[in-house]
Amino acid sequence: MTEASLSERPPKQLPDKRQVAASFSRAAASYDSVAALQRQVGKQLLARLPSTRQPGRWLDLGSGTGYFSRALATAFPDADGLALDIAEGMLRHARPQGGARHFVTGDAERLPLRDGSVDLIYSSLALQWCEDFAGVLSEARRVLRPGGTFAFSSLCSGTLQELRDSWQAVDGFAHVNRFRSLEAYQALCSDCCLRLVSLEVRPEVLHFPDLRQLTHELKALGAHNLNPGRPGGLTGRARIRALVDAYEGFRQPAGLPATYQVVYGVLRKDS
């Protein structure tokens, strides 16, 4: 297997994957300290995996710091594991901790794997950064063996809506990452060359004591604003004060809410 080069196609709505790779590479050391949502979502995705077949080889697609590569290794101790991520910094961080047998830099839209080489693809909160999700599904079918499973979690529109609405009250710039709609996921999964087993969306709400804590966590995750057309330079104090005031309108007894719309999908390759 060789390293896959990053896509040269410029995205239309989603961030440039080279910027995504660089951002998450920089966040490798801080990611696990603020990844409560990622842990919760990843565990829910693990619970959706079929229990009737043990994979001979699994792929953790968008493996990040390797937390769920290690969980997959524990769940399937006799299987050969592969961790693949677009961010080399994440792989450097994950490799010493083990879990997978192989650690490969690659792009989900152009997997550097042979046809029919894996039984299970597990991907948690990574594919929201892929512009060509149809290409991801096509690649999943190509590398899966007959009877193999592709299980993913991702984010859809409505994620961080409170932050988006608060910025909208301040200016018209794109300060919050854009994600495809649930309807787009439904159409793409229904029309692809894999059999759709299940697809659902579940909101996950985190609460923060103040806006500073939320923005600190997004930066530590590497998931701060990467949108095309985002404003450059520093944000003035007056605009930040206006943002804080607008977000305070959403405050709940538990704190300031940050809602993530999480999509869970399971697909199977029948032949």
Q: Name the token pair of 118.
A: 């894996």
Question: What is the domain-level CATH number for residue 124?
Answer: 3.40.50.150
Structure tokens at 215: 């923005």
pLDDT tens across the length of the chain (271 residues): 333 333 333 334 555 667 777 777 787 777 777 788 999 999 999 999 988 789 999 999 999 999 999 999 999 999 999 999 999 999 999 999 999 999 999 999 999 999 999 999 999 999 999 999 999 999 999 999 999 999 999 999 999 999 999 998 888 666 778 899 999 999 999 999 999 999 999 999 999 999 999 988 888 876 544 454 444 444 578 888 999 999 999 999 999 999 999 999 999 999 8
**Dist. CA 20–CA 18, nearest whole Å:** 5
Range of the domain at 67: 17-159+177-207+259-269
- If one counts the domains in the chain, the total is 1
Instruction: Answer whether 116's CB lies under 8 Å from 234's CB.
Output: no
Structure-token pair, residue 229: 């057309």
In a domain, 50, yes or no: yes
